[in-house]
């Protein structure tokens, strides 16, 4: 990888999982576009895969924010029946079809890599060709809230379980890698660890954060805004705030990178 952003012939963009906090990824993309930076290769997990797909599809910043504003997270008639998970993930298919009518990786303007988890084999799966929507749904199907997605008789779930920051998919193809990690695991209070579910969530969050943070530091340019800690992972009221935080952090990071390149 090349640390000089102005001489980069190809840029890779890596977007982590992290729920509503992933709107910070859209802020990063806005800051990139304002500075004339376009990624050639995009890799994402969970919400990062969704934002990455919209970006690779050529959607505007406004379209991206609207997608998350319009997509109902907890719609009563989406509740799962006879499926593991509270929400039937595949009920979102038609919403996604409105944004990705051709439903294929090949129809995108940029090469996209989507991380998901094969629940049966217990291993990571990377999708980059063929049908698009089901891999996107699978990558964002956070257990136990959302039901796994069946693709070729295999059940897939949230990519963040196995690889929340899939930098490996783009780093060999790019000479400059930009990374955005929104899976922030900040400090909690004792009262936030009162039961087994809270404890399990905390431990899982710390493990995911540790792995993502380590790989983020290997990127040529990275953002990891600590202010995102205050935004709940499924709090739709935090969409605009997370977007603004991401934009502010990314603008400063890009300004620094461009200044270093000019020296």
- What averages of pLDDT result for each successive group of 10 residues across the chain (263 residues)? 74 94 97 96 96 98 92 51 58 88 97 97 96 94 82 93 94 95 78 72 72 90 92 82 97 92 70
Question: Which among 158, 174, 180, 212 is annotated as catalytic?
Answer: 158
Number of domains in the chain: 1
Question: Which among 16, 45, 46, 251 is annotated as catalytic?
Answer: 46
The yes-or-no answer on residue 158 being catalytic is: yes
Q: What is the pLDDT of residue 74?
A: 43
The yes-or-no answer on residue 63 being catalytic is: no
In a domain, residue 195? The reply is yes
In a domain, residue 1? The reply is no
Q: How many CB atoms within 10 Å of residue 23?
A: 29
In a domain, residue 3? The reply is no
Q: What is the pLDDT of residue 175?
A: 92
Distance of alpha carbon 203 from its chain centroid, rounded? Answer: 20
Q: What is the pLDDT of residue 114?
A: 98
In a domain, residue 256? The reply is yes
- For residue 201, CA distances in Å to 26, 165, 182, 223 come to 26, 18, 16, 24
Dihedral sign for Cα atoms in the order 48, 21, 201, 189: positive
Q: In CATH, what number is assigned to the domain containing residue 143?
A: 3.40.1090.10
Q: What is the pTM of this model?
A: 0.89
Q: Which residues of 172-196 are buried (b: 16+ CB within 10 A; e: fewer)?
A: eebbbbbbbbbbbbeeeeeeeeeee
In a domain, residue 160? The reply is yes
C-alpha span between 59 and 224 (Å, rounded): 24
Instruction: Provide the domain limits for residue 190.
Output: 11-262
Q: What is the pLDDT of residue 209?
A: 78
In a domain, residue 46? The reply is yes
């Amino acid at each position: 990888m090349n640390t000089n952003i102005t001489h980069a012939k190809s840029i890779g963009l890596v977007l982590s999982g992290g729920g509503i906090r992933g709107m910070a990824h859209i802020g990063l993309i806005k800051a990139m576009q304002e500075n004339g930076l376009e990624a050639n290769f995009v890799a994402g997990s969970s919400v990062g895969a969704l934002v990455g797909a919209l970006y690779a599809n050529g959607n505007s910043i406004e379209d991206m924010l609207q997608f998350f504003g319009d997509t109902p997270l907890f719609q009563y008639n989406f509740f799962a029946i006879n499926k593991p998970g509270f929400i039937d993930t595949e009920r979102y298919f038609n919403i996604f079809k409105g944004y990705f009518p051709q439903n294929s990786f090949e129809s995108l303007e940029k090469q996209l890599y989507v991380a998901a988890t094969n629940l049966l084999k217990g291993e990571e799966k990377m999708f980059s060709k063929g049908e698009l929507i089901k891999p996107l749904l699978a990558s964002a199907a956070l257990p136990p809230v959302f039901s796994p997605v069946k693709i070729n008789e295999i059940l897939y779930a949230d990519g963040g379980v196995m690889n929340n920051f899939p930098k490996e998919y783009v780093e060999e193809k790019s000479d400059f890698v930009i990374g955005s990690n929104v899976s922030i695991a900040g400090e909690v209070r004792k009262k936030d660890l009162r039961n087994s579910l809270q404890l399990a969530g905390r431990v899982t969050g710390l493990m995911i954060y540790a792995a993502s943070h380590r790989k983020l530091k290997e990127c040529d340019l990275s953002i990891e805004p600590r202010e995102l800690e205050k935004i709940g992972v499924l709090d739709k009221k935090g969409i605009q705030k997370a977007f603004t935080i991401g934009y502010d952090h990314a603008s400063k990071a890009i300004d620094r990178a461009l200044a270093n390149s000019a020296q």
